[in-house]
Structure 1
Amino acid sequence: MQILVIGVTGYAGRRVSAALARAGHTVLGLTRDPASPAVRDLTVNEVTPVKGDFAVPESWRGYLEGTDAIVQLVMDVNDPVGTDQQLFRELAASQERQGRRHHLVYTTGISCYGRTGLSLMDENTPGNPESPLGFRFTLERELAASGLAHTVVRPGFIYGGPGTTSLSGQWFAAAEAGKPVFYGDTSKRYSWIHVDDLADAYVRILDNPTAVDGEVFVLADDQRLRVLDVQRLVLHAAGLTGDISLEPAEAGGAIQVAADQDELVTSAKAHRLLGWRPRHPSITDDPATYYQAWKASQQSS
């Protein structure tokens, strides 16, 4: 099938689009700058760059013609609600014009849950409406009510590969700067997922999208790791052995506030319906390799 990937030059977007191309799909990658180094790398992986700006539908509307599926992997920080709502409207209008359905794989994340007070969350766990990212669950509900063919993906904290916008990548950078900081509750625990395991899930969804129309999948490994312990191991892998400064979550900005609680999930549904299981057991399994991958990415960018 032909797939349009929105957010193709992002951290997850590069790996997801390449995996879809390897699976035999024709993959178009929406990018504002087709001449960028990231786009050249995509071309090597048989992804076709197409010029457009997600926030400007007129720039990408034409690519919906002949496209079977859309993978959305980016949040427009300038208008995170309005831009996604516009995407839903554009897909509905295209469906009416062409008389055929596009399948949207819509990506949010486990930090949207906010504080639920639960030790383990799944696809049926209601999010806390007071979460700074709770609006993304509202968008999920709007998508479900729209009648569009879709699947929702909620990844855990992503690591591995270039790690460009990952929490682990931020820690590697802090280690090299000699200024590591831990924000918020020192007892909190997160669920994690390797970027290539995440990409595998998108391939499985789009192998048979009709079978998972309307489904939501939480994707993460089975570890229950204290974040501070993970940070220490990651910093050590980057050569730092000094102390970590402890700061309140508010000092780290809105994202740190949104994620300042246990965020542990089970992926039992993805195991059952997709046959998906992570092949990378844990971020703590080989942090030195993840550091080297991040470092090489920094040097080549």
Structure 2
Amino acid sequence: MRVLVTGSTGYVGRVVFAALAAAGHTPVALSGDVRTCAGLDAFGDLDAVVHLAGLGRVRESFADPVRYYDVNVGGTVNLLRSPPPRFVLASTAGVYGAPGVAVIDEDCPRSPANPYAASKAAAEDVLAWAAAAGRVGAVALRLFNVASGGDVDDTRLVTRACGAASGRLPAVEVFGDGSAVRDFVHVRDVARAFVTAVERCGEGYAALNVGGTPASVADVLAAVTRVTGRPVPVVPRPAHPGEAPELRADTTRLRAWGWRPAESDLDTLIRDQWAAERPHRT
């Protein structure tokens, strides 16, 4: 299949582009502004779109929510004006907010707690309605904590911990006792999820979780020390009020499509990220 990949030069986009090619598809890059591209006809016959382009910083979204809606929702709307038969959207587990349950499945009500997650929920809605109207077959992949693969985003725990171990960053702030559990998934497993979604996408709309290994903050820091042989400097901070003690992904539905996380164990996540820190080690 010829698959247009928006955000193809981004952290996830580069890996998805390579995974599609490795699976025998023909990925086509779109690295520009998805709000202003004139139409998908310029890219020739397409079988699918993987829509990764967008804004993704939670704290930044509070400062400029209008921009987040403009890019994340407006870009999706623009691509849906003349879509190919299949459309796969990169969404976020942030659409669930703090659901009050440890293991989250796709039937859990959405309750986004920040403008970024809310804009992704709105993009999901537009896509679902387009699918209900018969305009496209659609899948939204709700990504949990994507890690490794040379990521340089220091808002991510694995990246931050490896950066502190290497000496590139001074320390990792740990809020509370470090027992909060989150779900970490390797970017290469995420890329394989997008390939699976493109290949299995049919009529209608499906939202699917993409998760990997549940681990606490303390687990991640201990694993970084074990894998790298270096301690991780820590600055203790008070716990965030109302922080969920555990958020894990139920990936049953995506697994039913044949996907499995193959590289999301902590040691692999950290080993790959540590390799990316090599130029910065002191």
The verdict on how the C-alpha distance between 1:198 and 1:92 changes in structure 2, with shifts beyond 3 A counting, is closer
Q: Is the 8 A contact 2:90 2:140 kept in 1?
A: yes
Q: CA deviation at 1:20?
A: 0.2
Aligned length: 262
Query: Cα RMSD (Å) of the superposition?
Result: 2.8
Q: Is the 8 A contact 1:192 1:220 kept in 2?
A: yes
CA distance in 1, matches of 2:252, 2:106: 10
CA distance in 2, matches of 1:7, 1:27: 12
Partner-residue secondary structure (3-state), 1:224: strand
CA distance in 2, matches of 1:85, 1:116: 23
Q: Is the 8 A contact 2:92 2:117 kept in 1?
A: no
CA distance in 1, matches of 2:195, 2:160: 28
The amino acid that maps onto 2:235 is: S
Q: What is the TM-score when the length of structure 1 is the normalising length?
A: 0.76
Equivalent residue number for residue 198 of structure 1? 190
CA distance in 1, matches of 2:139, 2:108: 17
Equivalent residue number for residue 84 of structure 1? 72
The amino acid that maps onto 2:252 is: A
CA distance in 2, matches of 1:249, 1:62: 51
Deviations 1:125-170 (A, max 9, x none): 1122434544122331232112342100012212232123343122
Partner-residue secondary structure (3-state), 1:57: coil
CA distance in 2, matches of 1:239, 1:132: 39
| Percent identical | 25
Equivalent residue number for residue 61 of structure 2? none
Q: CA deviation at 1:243?
A: 4.1
Matched ranges for 1:222-237 at <5 A: 223-235=213-225, 237=227
1:75 aligns with 2:41: no
CA distance in 1, matches of 2:80, 2:232: 54
The amino acid that maps onto 1:16 is: V
Structure 1 residue ranges (4+ consecutive) displaced by more than 6 angstroms after TM superposition? 257-260
Q: What is the TM-score when the length of structure 2 is the normalising length?
A: 0.80
Matched ranges for 1:1-301 at <5 A: 1-31=1-31, 52-58=32-38, 61-76=40-55, 79-95=67-83, 101-135=84-118, 136-147=120-131, 148-165=136-153, 166-175=156-165, 176-177=167-168, 179-185=170-176, 186-210=178-202, 213-221=204-212, 223-235=213-225, 237-241=227-231, 243-248=233-238, 262-272=246-256, 274-283=257-266, 285-286=267-268, 289-295=271-277
Partner-residue secondary structure (3-state), 2:53: coil
Deviations 1:45-74 (A, max 9, x none): xxxxxxx3234334x655454222111123
CA distance in 1, matches of 2:243, 2:225: 20
Q: Is the 8 A contact 2:143 2:210 kept in 1?
A: yes
Structure 2: stretches of 5+ with no match in the other structure: 57-63
Q: Is the 8 A contact 2:181 2:245 kept in 1?
A: yes
Structure 1: stretches of 5+ with no match in the other structure: 32-51, 96-100, 251-256
The verdict on how the C-alpha distance between 1:86 and 1:61 changes in structure 2, with shifts beyond 3 A counting, is farther
